[in-house]
């Protein structure tokens, strides 16, 4: 039996994962900013679930949540940084306060929880850190520059983390989901308040009022949860796990485009060293 601490469990992938972990007989610290939204899981699994209030932008709450998890279950074996939300805006439309909140939640929130669990994992020389990214980090659609940026930051951070903690017996994994049938494109999606007309045919097409995808996504959250548990239980874990056919296709298309660009400009790239 392992103990999982999962952020953002009120809806979507976080809730599906918390439910699957508990159904598999593991301990789960299920967190949300409003504990009322996850209390039913603690009531259903009173011996193995702990519901906690957690806003990942609050240092004190992060510290308290990890301490409570360790008191109840002894240790945090798996940390899943899932808390977050979407934000759509052309880069020029992005509102400073909204962008700062986005980075504080996704990037610095992830850093806060990692720093809180690593001392215990280092002491035990074991543990797994899973950081949720998005295929958006790879394909960067119009209107999702800021969201793609926070996810790209998480991916770069996770790769360095993986190299730092692997010798200590701890694993770090980035997960890039595609579109899943969650509330991400509904309640969890925010956007710039004032659109700029010049971006109507690019970023503007992806505003909430024009979004027809919500509720029709191909990704099944329950299958994503099963995949994550399978990966954690595997001995050889990947750095990057793609979830969904759209993520797999988008990832490969993006790599092909980058390689083609690098090949085209390779003579220029190789022309900038000092002459031998």
- pLDDT tens string, the chain, 276 residues long: the values are 899 999 999 989 999 999 999 999 999 999 999 999 999 999 999 999 999 999 999 999 999 999 999 999 999 999 999 999 999 999 999 999 999 999 999 999 999 999 999 999 999 999 999 999 999 999 999 999 999 999 999 999 999 999 999 999 999 999 999 988 766 655 678 999 999 999 999 999 988 776 666 666 788 999 999 999 999 999 999 999 999 999 999 999 999 999 999 999 999 999 999 998
Closest CA to 99 of 32, 150, 138, 154: 150
d(CA 180, CA 12): 8
Q: Structural domains in the chain?
A: 3-269 (3.40.50.720)
Closest CA to 49 of 22, 9, 71: 22
| Confidence at residue 198, expressed as pLDDT on a 0 to 100 scale | 98
Contact by Cβ (8 Å): 33, 241: no
pTM of the shown model: 0.94
Longest Cα–Cα distance of the chain, Å, equals 71
Q: Would you state the torsion angle of the CA atoms of residues 43, 44, 48, 49, taken in this order, to the nearest 10 degrees?
A: -50
| Confidence at residue 93, expressed as pLDDT on a 0 to 100 scale | 98
Positions marked catalytic: 133, 147, 151
List beta partners, residue 6.
30, 80
């Amino acid at each position: 039996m392992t103990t999982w601490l999962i952020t953002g469990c009120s809806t979507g992938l976080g809730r599906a994962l918390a439910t699957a972990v508990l159904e598999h007989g593991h301990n789960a610290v299920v967190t949300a900013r409003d504990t009322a939204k996850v209390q039913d899981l603690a009531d259903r699994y009173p011996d193995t679930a702990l519901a906690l209030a957690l806003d990942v932008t609050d240092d004190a709450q992060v510290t308290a949540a990890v301490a409570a998890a360790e008191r109840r279950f002894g240790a945090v074996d798996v940390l899943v940084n899932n808390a977050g939300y979407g934000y759509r805006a052309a880069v020029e439309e992005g509102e400073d306060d909204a962008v700062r909140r986005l980075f504080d939640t996704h990037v610095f929130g992830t850093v806060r929880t990692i720093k809180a669990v690593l001392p215990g994992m280092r002491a035990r020389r074991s543990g797994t850190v899973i950081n949720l990214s998005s295929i958006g980090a790879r394909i960067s659609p119009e209107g999702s520059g800021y969201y793609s940026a926070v996810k790209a930051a998480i991916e770069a951070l996770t790769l360095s983390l993986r190299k730092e903690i692997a010798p200590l017996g701890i694993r770090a994994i980035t997960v890039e989901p595609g579109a899943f049938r969650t509330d991400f494109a509904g309640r969890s999606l925010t956007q710039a308040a004032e659109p700029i007309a010049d971006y109507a045919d690019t970023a503007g097409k992806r505003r909430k009022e024009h979004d027809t995808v919500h509720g029709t996504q191909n990704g099944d959250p329950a299958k994503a949860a099963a995949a994550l548990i399978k990966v954690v239980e595997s001995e050889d874990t990947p750095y990057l796990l793609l979830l969904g056919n759209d993520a797999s296709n988008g990832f490969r298309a993006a790599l092909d485009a980058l390689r083609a660009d690098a090949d085209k400009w390779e003579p220029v790239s190789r022309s900038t060293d000092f002459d031998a």
